Amino acid sequence: MIKREHWGSRLGFILAAAGSAVGLGNIWKFPYMAGANGGGAFLVIYLGLVFTIGLSVMLAEFVIGRMSEKNAIGAFAKLKGGLWPIIGVFGVAAAFIILSFYSVVAGWTISYMIKSVTGALAVEDPAALGDIFGTFIADTTSPLIFHAVFMALTVFVVLAGVGGGIERASKILMPALFALLIVLIVRSVTLPGGMEGVAFLLSPDFSKVTWSTVSDALSQAFFSLSLGMGAMITYGSYLSKKENLPGSAGWVTLLDSAVAVMAGLLILPAVFAFGFDPSAGPGLTFITLPAVFAQMPFGAFFAFLFFLLLAIAALTSAVSILEVVVAYFVDDRGVSRKSAAVIIGFVIFLLGIPSSLSMGVMGDVKIIAGKNFFDLMDFISSSLLLPIGGLFISLFVGWVVWGKAQEEIAAHNGVIPIWVGAWGVIVKFIAPIAIAFILLKGLGVF
């Protein structure tokens, strides 16, 4: 048997896991979800869920991964068998679905990188920028070309393996992302009128909260932390026994939520400064930020950097999604890493085509409940598969392997910390009940 690959260092692992978590979910999705859900109240509920259920499920995934040293399906088969591997099967299905539409949006960011250099975005009028965006995503071929380019890049990193590809890329890209975010936030909050956006994000108005706000916050927490589909199980499976799992889970959760808040502070002030509607939806990032850049000295340069970093954040996340599927085929189906990455990457590209076309020619094709293909893929994965995955992952750790899970936490120094009891209460009871309740409420079941 070939020895399992391992991360080169603790920092490398944390950056790779943070690279998975920090992505379009934080920079593109979070600000428009917060915008559509009343701002501050959404933020409070979101952070509340992240640091209770999110952090606990992340630790559970790391534990399952390192304990089994297996992919998302194989881990459950090895630790218990029976019907449990179905959790991993759902996870692999979620990986196909998420990456298919994720790559479409990531493709937009690559195109916007090019547009910033060619001057196509040097337009100060936000309405005109709205038209540019709308026309671009509604086009049939060019978004597909960028979707293909992005999938090719993702395949390329995964091909290069865990240490040489995923870890190496994350160590360069994540620090760059942080630095640029800070520069851009300073610019955005100092725009005339920008403070209104800060107030919108930081002063919660709970009168706007409904169950759908809470269920949106839950979906967003799972999506943003890369939980519920085995990405963190897979990354955890490449960890050595000397690593401190709770510390790592804490760091990744903290970095991820920090970037979400920072992205909110970057986008929402600009939205208010330019008089946009914060609930404008998925176009928010692609329309308001270019308007900000167009008014700055060296704006084209900053715009290029911003979209480059958005593409990078997307890439380190996409890599982790593809790795979930690749690890399964490599571990359990005897496929080589190369063939697995290329073939699966291609299938995911095909699945993304209808999502891309949903922005144009297929825009009026409503598949179910008034949702077009893109929205449906997003809904099935983020609102159903991930939370359901998280529910069963919690139950698995809390009830099926609880004894071994505690030992796994203590593996690096032999001490079971006292807070483990609290974690046990969360994974055994609170997380499963809360997730089930929020899901059913959000779906309007009762």
Tell me whether residue 16 or residue 214 sits nearer to ligand PHE (CB atom).
Answer: 16
Contact between 24 and ligand PHE by CB under 6 A: the answer reads: yes
Tell me whether residue 46 or residue 272 sits nearer to ligand PHE (CB atom).
Answer: 46
CB of 141 to ligand PHE, least distance (A): 26
Distance CA(15)–CA(21), nearest Å, equals 10
Contact between 372 and ligand PHE by CB under 6 A: the answer reads: no
Number of residues that bind ligand PHE (CB under 6 A): 15
Q: Are 199 and 271 in contact, with CB atoms under 8 Å apart?
A: no
Stretch that binds ligand PHE, among 110-118, 146-154, 223-231, 233-241 (CB under 6 A): 223-231
Tell me whether residue 88 or residue 194 sits nearer to ligand PHE (CB atom).
Answer: 88
CB of 425 to ligand PHE, least distance (A): 26
Tell me whether residue 98 or residue 311 sits nearer to ligand PHE (CB atom).
Answer: 98
Distances (CA, A) of 46 to 223, 359, 441: 12, 28, 17
Burial 314-340 (b: 16+ CB within 10 A, else e): bbbbbbbbbbbbbbbbbbbeebebeeb
Q: Tokens for 213? A: 């706000």
Tell me whether residue 23 or residue 107 sits nearer to ligand PHE (CB atom).
Answer: 23
Contact between 223 and ligand PHE by CB under 6 A: the answer reads: yes
Among 15, 63, 105, 229, binds ligand PHE (CB under 6 A): 229
Q: Segment 305-334, which members bind ligand PHE (CB under 6 A)?
A: 317, 320-321
Q: Tokens for 114? A: 């090019």
Packing angle between helix 194-202 and helix 168-189, nearest 10 degrees? 120
**Hey, which residues does 371 pair with through a beta bridge?**
368
Packing angle between helix 10-21 and helix 299-332, nearest 10 degrees? 110
Site string for ligand PHE, 381-420 (x = CB under 6 A): ----------------------------------------
Site string for ligand PHE, 47-86 (x = CB under 6 A): ----------------------------------------
H or E segment to which residue 178 belongs: helix 168-189
Site string for ligand PHE, 171-210 (x = CB under 6 A): ----------------------------------------
CB of 27 to ligand PHE, least distance (A): 8
Distance CA(129)–CA(303), nearest Å, equals 13
Tell me whether residue 23 or residue 143 sits nearer to ligand PHE (CB atom).
Answer: 23
Looking at this protein, which amino acid is placed at residue 119?
A: G
Site string for ligand PHE, 3-22 (x = CB under 6 A): -----------------xx-
Q: Are 90 and 395 in contact, with CB atoms under 8 Å apart?
A: no
Contact between 224 and ligand PHE by CB under 6 A: the answer reads: yes
Looking at this protein, which amino acid is placed at residue 7?
A: W
CA 177 remoteness from chain centre:
15
CB of 223 to ligand PHE, least distance (A): 5
Q: Tokens for 186? A: 């300073």
Distance CA(188)–CA(256), nearest Å, equals 20
CB of 174 to ligand PHE, least distance (A): 13
Stretch that binds ligand PHE, among 45-53, 226-234, 390-398, 410-418 (CB under 6 A): 226-234
Angle of CA points 214, 215, 221, to nearest 5°: 90
H or E segment to which residue 299 belongs: helix 299-332
CB of 438 to ligand PHE, least distance (A): 18
Distance CA(328)–CA(229), nearest Å, equals 12
Tell me whether residue 39 or residue 91 sits nearer to ligand PHE (CB atom).
Answer: 91
CB of 42 to ligand PHE, least distance (A): 16
Q: What is the largest CA-CA distance in the chain?
A: 62
DSSP for residue 371? B
Q: Tokens for 136? A: 């671009």
Site string for ligand PHE, 81-120 (x = CB under 6 A): -----------------x----------------------
Among 103, 226, 248, 257, binds ligand PHE (CB under 6 A): 226
Tell me whether residue 323 or residue 408 sits nearer to ligand PHE (CB atom).
Answer: 323
Q: Are 256 and 224 in contact, with CB atoms under 8 Å apart?
A: yes
Q: Are 359 and 374 in contact, with CB atoms under 8 Å apart?
A: yes
Residues near ligand PHE, by CB under 6 A: 20-21, 23-26, 98, 223-224, 226, 229, 231, 317, 320-321
